[in-house]
Structure 1
């Protein structure tokens, strides 16, 4: 796909109103062209084969052939980036779709107010344009039983955005040999979805995964997911490391923010601070990476070869603060090795 050509989009949704609205919002940019629409998965697959779109927007609940079956068949016949359009009422469906290969998701506004529709337009434009940079990923889920580790926690901060949910899942699965770790995860995601994301990861084992709450104590075998719309920070208090979830300030570009998490890790852990930047758009994490490096800690980044979007990792690497650039499949084993060296 040439950089000068508009992104070609196929809209798949059983609602005629939604198809019209999405088409209007997408084509408000001269860089996007809706090449077709479909009312169900069967029609959508035929349109993909005939029109060869660069990206598909997908409603999961459709008659005849639903969204999950569409994703499975699309992956095996004509792999194409898919952005799921989901309601807040179906949060868990989103993560199943991401596991089946969807590129990203957008939440439908609860009420179609002018502000909500404008927010939807901006998000659609941003994520559709991101397919110019997309790379395939394979979460390869593996389920293992939970254990109850008793060893001291090794703490690491993980930052991710677009393409992040499957990458975070795969990372947790790779860390199973060392379940005494504690991970603090900042995944860019709307506030209505982060708890469902944590609950889904909690089923994988061996870690106990939950959405972080104010006052949570850092403990071995735990993974804390930053709550959407708030920040996740860690600080030392009476001999323990405690989590805070403050609201964003006017200066924060993201909530949750990888920068805010990494800066707090640098302050709390100093030379023992560890931050890992995974796939994502933008530059969140770059400022925090410099803070960790200045404190004497370590920052790693996912390599271009596996990152779905090599935006955040690239920006972190550009600061000169990143000490290791690794494919996603190597990050988990390398963290296990580092944790065991630090015992």
Structure 2
């Protein structure tokens, strides 16, 4: 009996807590770091980026609960100039734990996304993790993992298990219409569908609606609507279009993101899913029609399968169609080409 008890105690003392996986995008306070969702389909996740145009940005931070112990810290990051063997590593940053900076500069080596190691550091209970930018030149962090096992090394395929996510994303009830993409075309499709009595899932991978016409990009609404033989064409757009004084405007507020969201939310049969990136498509058994699209919450990492009868691809890239297997092509001819719209202004004095 004593021998068995001793063995049990030894096993307990040797056991390690489950590693703590923290998605950078889930940080409670992003500080001056921005959420970049452009490369989810390339590297598998959104990430935080210190886009300070050369000026160091404010720390991003969050708090987690950890059992008392000594932890090694891993961060998935990338030296973004590495593929060109460029010197300088402009995207360098540090991590601090409870105010103590770890003795490692992240984002300074390698060519691809990789796990970089620092520590160990002793913690107990509530623990504050902070990202400290060093350059203002686009340092990036996908995830942070803390482990009390010195021999542990994380891999990206551990993400789902360590975050407690199901193997298969849960699905919604069936919608009449699923609209993917929250720019002007997506807004028009979703609102029009709702006004025809359809139950609509409206999915947008940014925190605001409007696409290029939002405060994030600031391309003003200067198209011709309600003209000639088509006096009703564009009526819905006129309900939420900006009246900006310039493009880009003196203030992002001129693009009125709130008006766009309020116009959509006024439709009782639209369910709006912001910060949700569609990265997958499931077909019906006949393999000819879409049954659902799979969306990733860019803040929590949770996934959802949106089931629908009809689907509208308003992504601007034809992403849903391509994922469904539709034939597509991209070519250089037929594009607008370079434009001076963004730089030609008379400011009367040097800037």
Considering fraction of residues, name the structure with more helix.
Answer: 1
Which has the higher Rg, Structure 1 or Structure 2? Answer: 2
Give the TM-score band, short-chain normalised.
under 0.3
* Larger proportion of strand: 2
| TM-score, normalising length: structure 1 | 0.27
